[in-house]
Amino acid sequence: MSVLLAAATASLAVDVVSKRLVTTHLTEGRLYGRAPGWGLRRVRSHGGGLGRVSVSLAIALWIVAAGCVLLLMSSTPLGVVAAAGLGIAIGGATGNVAERLARGTVVDFIAAGRWPVFNLADAAMVVGLLVAGASVL
């Protein structure tokens, strides 16, 4: 349980700090990068594109997290890698949900070609779930 909480806290902290740096130092809409469409671009997600997916995934993660906490309390604990992956995903979900509830939007800033612009919380949710899932297979 301590690995899960530490990973969630670290993931949430990285998300909060990255969004604060982006909103402080990057101009809205401007692409900071060398290749067309690739780099950093500060945008506000109002729920379109990956925004809806992120909110849905965040809500799903909260449900999964509640189930995992019950699982951890009642039976064999998760392995360290699974707990770390799940914690990273929960931290990302927490960051996006908290920002969406507080501001009604989420700051996205990673531009990767044709993909919609996303943030580190989105990446943490996906990578964390992949790590957790792969470790229990």
Query: Helices (DSSP H) in 1-137: which residue ranges?
Result: 2-25, 50-74, 80-103, 120-136
Determine what percent of the chain falls in helix, strand and coil, rounding each to the nearest 5: 65, 15, 20
Task: Enumerate the active-site residues.
Answer: 108, 122
CA 108 to chain centre: 11
Query: Based on the number of CB atoms within 10 Å of its own CB, is 122 exposed (0-12), middle (13-18) or buried (19 or more)?
Result: buried
